Structure 1
Amino acid sequence: MALGIGGSTPQQALSKLSDMTSGISPITLQEYQQRVSRAVDLMKQLDVEALYLNAGTNLSYFTGTHWYASERMVGAILTKTGQLTYIAPWFEESSLTDFMQVKAPVTTWHEHESPYQLFVNTLKHQNITQGKVVIDEATSFFIVDGLLNEATAQDIKITLSSSKPITAQCRMAKSNQEIALMQRAKMMTMAVHQAAASILKPGITTTEVKEFINIAHQKVGSNGSTFCIVLFGEATAYPHGVKEAQTLQENDMVLIDTGCLLHGYQSDITRTYVYGQATDRQRQVWEHEKKAQLAAFNAAQIGQRCEDVDGAARSYLSAQGYGPDYQVPGLPHRTGHGIGLDIHEWPYLVKGDTTLLQPGMCFSNEPMICIYGEFGVRLEDHFYMTEQGPVWFTEPAHSIDNPFNR
């Protein structure tokens, strides 16, 4: 049996966990204000008249206002003169004001009124009747469609396009505090991983392990798991799982992928190991996965392209007989994704992403090997970029016999 696998009851494992959130602070008002200023600078460079931030992570990133998107339009309009105006239903104004970190006026609409008309009128009030207006790229189509129709109805000559050149450019490189928050969140999830591994026993179900992981994430100080994938046996070959729950048997491969939030920032870690005695086949594939992960890490150097990191992992796997490209047995998806307020965000470690690596960028590294009908192995750790190269948030697993480096 691998080190740290089995031997504890859920109660015993939970008793060893404690709150891990002390001594770490959320993003400050000053940092939010700096983000707004950075967006304004980019708007001027790109000749953008106004930026719309819809409820969600872009609104949260720039203003500290945590609000979730729904069928009602809630967001903020930022002009290139630096004026910020929130837009929301009238009955939400008080709540929205309470959530704001960056304070600004709120323009409101009643339920029978059009938020799109209010949006266009707000632009006109700011003397914006032509030019480029960029819309949060995560905004639902019905909002964009409503804005287009209203702009046409009022005969204003604005063009609408994606805010990605501004929002992604601001968010891709993380600040020291963002990195510190993710570092702590990942430490919390790693502690949960170790606890979950310790409760495994024949007959336990994937559902039971997921429920334990959610409670364990609460025990270390989060609100629970933001997501959780637990797979046993042949199901481990499917990156995001299968429909049916599984029951653990001796010598099954185990794959657990989970994460939590800390002050809005994400963790996301996967460990794969064997419950019982690993076969030669399981050991070989596990080692290939570990070396592919290391190849990607070593390729991540300042000034290299994101796609080069994916290419390094894929080249190694191809040399071992996997693939080619996205074919299985092999790596059927990208090597990694950016991470921050969103679990998956720009840039991506994938062919075609020519973004140059720069300090502050944060990525998952998870070049999974999928062998349908047998098992899969995914080792997922994250790293951040410095001037000297990549730095791991969490230490990769040493071996299939020592997945938690004990």
Structure 2
Amino acid sequence: MGSKACALAQSNSWTESTIDLRVSRLGMKEPQALRPRERWRQFFKRLIVAFTASAILMLVVQFLADFVSSRLTPLNIVNINSLRYEAFRKCSVNTFLETGLPWLETASPIVLHEFVQRRNNLAVALETDGIDAFIVEPGYTFQYYANISQKDWEVWEPEERPFLMVISPHFDTTLSKVVAKTSFLAPHFEEGRVRMLGMPFEEDLSIITWEEHWNPYMTLWKNWHTAIGTEDLGSIEIPKVMVDEEMRDFIQRGLGENDFEVVGLAGSVKRVKQTKTVGELNILRAINTGTVEALRAMRKCMVPGLSENEVMASLDSTMRAGGIEPFFDIVLFDENAAMPHGGPNGSKVLENETLVLIDVGAHLYGYSSDIGGRRLNTCT
């Protein structure tokens, strides 16, 4: 046994010395464990290589997509940066500005006291119709009463969490008349954003907040005395609330399932928004007149060779130069005009005896125009 152990030890010693000899002959060093700093350095190197490879791959994919797209684009599309187009655009803008834009002189943005009056008119209508409150979410009606559109609140798409404005009639003993009491229902984490919207109110905003794990509609019901500005609910057991056609179905159902009686827009309340003030009429007159005059100015500068896209772009540029913002613009030539809301690609070119159809709309201070016209081009 002793001789075997001795022989094994000698064998191991010989093997180790042989390995040492081979390593020394090859000029190699024994591997050592990497220090922590070196390990991190190698990790970041690999990370940089991976990110670089990903970026290059994305660029290649984008290049191929652009290449394929360019091959699929019709060859007859006119270059919108052509000298002809630029001369046409400048002529149109200058002709429009030479009018002096007199229609803008009587138009001005809706001011604070008019928003207050709108809500007070609504409160009187609610009282007349026997409705406890009007509830609305961001949209055109919300914008009419508080100057906040859906995009002002959520630019991408309507928010899934209810943000509601509650307007109720309240008798002001000092003024001896019915005025509006306005409250808001909002997610707790959004309260700060609601206050920063700059809505047109003379007093501090009254906001009822709800947490993510709460029922927002039951929260509103439990705080109804705060929402309508009174501790005496009297005979109100089931609040009767009115909503308009913009209110999404899931919110209407949420209110109805939590002890609210929900009714649709009707009666005196409906007529409040339909009745226009002098200020509103001045804006409507200005935006419609301005749109027509921009169209007339551009028409004087049209020459053969322009494409539908170029005429459209020039009209947009002309309106913007006069302080009005286009929100849709359709220009169609000849047979394309048979498709009322758009041609194939806007590449058809204006010629003598071309039928021109234009449908255009623009915004000014939240109000819109919608002008349509057709003519036979006889330019030479």
Quick check: TM above 0.5?
Answer: yes
Q: Unaligned stretches of 5+ in structure 1?
A: 1-5, 278-406
Name the TM-score, length of structure 1 as normaliser: 0.58
Alignment partner of 1:108 out of 201, 205, 209: 209
Q: Residue 200 of structure 1: SS of its match in structure 2?
A: coil
| Superposed displacement of residue 162, structure 1 | 1.4
Aligned twin of 2:46: none
| Superposed displacement of residue 167, structure 1 | 4.5
Name which of structure 1's ranges 101-110 and 176-185 shifts more when overlaid on structure 2.
Answer: 101-110
| Superposed displacement of residue 159, structure 1 | 1.7
Name which of structure 1's ranges 209-218 and 198-207 shifts more when overlaid on structure 2.
Answer: 198-207
Distance 1:148-1:194 versus aligned 2 partners, 3 A rule: same
- Regions of 4+ moved over 6 Å: none
CA distance in 2, matches of 1:116, 1:226: 36
Distance 1:53-1:237 versus aligned 2 partners, 3 A rule: same
Aligned twin of 1:93: 191
- Are 1:74 and 2:153 counterparts? no
Q: Partner letter of residue 284 of structure 2?
A: M
- Are 1:148 and 2:256 counterparts? yes
Larger helix proportion, structure 1 or 2?
Answer: 2
Aligned twin of 1:204: 306
Alignment partner of 2:132 out of 40, 49, 53: 49
Name the TM-score, length of structure 2 as normaliser: 0.61
Distance 1:260-1:169 versus aligned 2 partners, 3 A rule: same
**Cα pair 2:361 2:371 within 8 Å, conserved:** yes
Q: Partner letter of residue 220 of structure 2?
A: F
Distance 1:122-1:261 versus aligned 2 partners, 3 A rule: farther
CA distance in 1, matches of 2:133, 2:140: 18
Q: Residue 219 of structure 2: SS of its match in structure 1?
A: helix
CA distance in 2, matches of 1:198, 1:167: 46
Distance 1:110-1:260 versus aligned 2 partners, 3 A rule: farther
Alignment partner of 1:217 out of 319, 330, 336: 319
CA distance in 2, matches of 1:146, 1:99: 28
Q: Partner letter of residue 313 of structure 2?
A: E
Distance 1:203-1:37 versus aligned 2 partners, 3 A rule: same
**Cα pair 1:59 1:75 within 8 Å, conserved:** no
| Superposed displacement of residue 220, structure 1 | 0.9
Aligned twin of 2:60: none
**Cα pair 1:232 1:246 within 8 Å, conserved:** no
Distance 1:190-1:129 versus aligned 2 partners, 3 A rule: same
Q: Partner letter of residue 308 of structure 2?
A: T
| Superposed displacement of residue 25, structure 1 | 2.0
| Superposed displacement of residue 180, structure 1 | 0.5
Give runs of aligned pairs for residues 241-390 of structure 1, distance below 5 A. Answer: 241-245=342-346, 247=348, 248-276=350-378
Q: Rg larger in 1 or in 2?
A: 2
Give runs of aligned pairs for residues 123-134 of structure 1, distance below 5 A. Answer: 123=224, 125=226, 126=228, 127=233, 128-134=236-242
CA distance in 2, matches of 1:167, 1:15: 45
- Number of residue pairs the alignment of both structures matches: 265
Larger strand proportion, structure 1 or 2?
Answer: 1
CA deviation profile, 1:30-66 (whole Å, cap 9, x unmatched): 2222211211111112111111122112112123344
**Cα pair 1:206 1:245 within 8 Å, conserved:** yes
Aligned twin of 2:328: 227
| Superposed displacement of residue 99, structure 1 | 2.5
**Cα pair 1:54 1:139 within 8 Å, conserved:** yes
Q: Residue 196 of structure 1: SS of its match in structure 2?
A: helix
Q: Residue 226 of structure 1: SS of its match in structure 2?
A: strand
Aligned twin of 1:9: 88
Q: Partner letter of residue 241 of structure 2?
A: V
| Superposed displacement of residue 243, structure 1 | 4.9
CA deviation profile, 1:108-162 (whole Å, cap 9, x unmatched): 345555443433334365445414211122112232233333x1xxxx2x32121
CA distance in 2, matches of 1:196, 1:118: 56
Q: Partner letter of residue 99 of structure 1?
A: G
Aligned twin of 1:236: 337
**Cα pair 2:93 2:298 within 8 Å, conserved:** no
> Alpha carbon RMSD of aligned pairs, Å?
2.9
Aligned twin of 1:178: 280
Q: Partner letter of residue 89 of structure 2?
A: P
Aligned twin of 1:324: none
- Are 1:33 and 2:142 counterparts? no
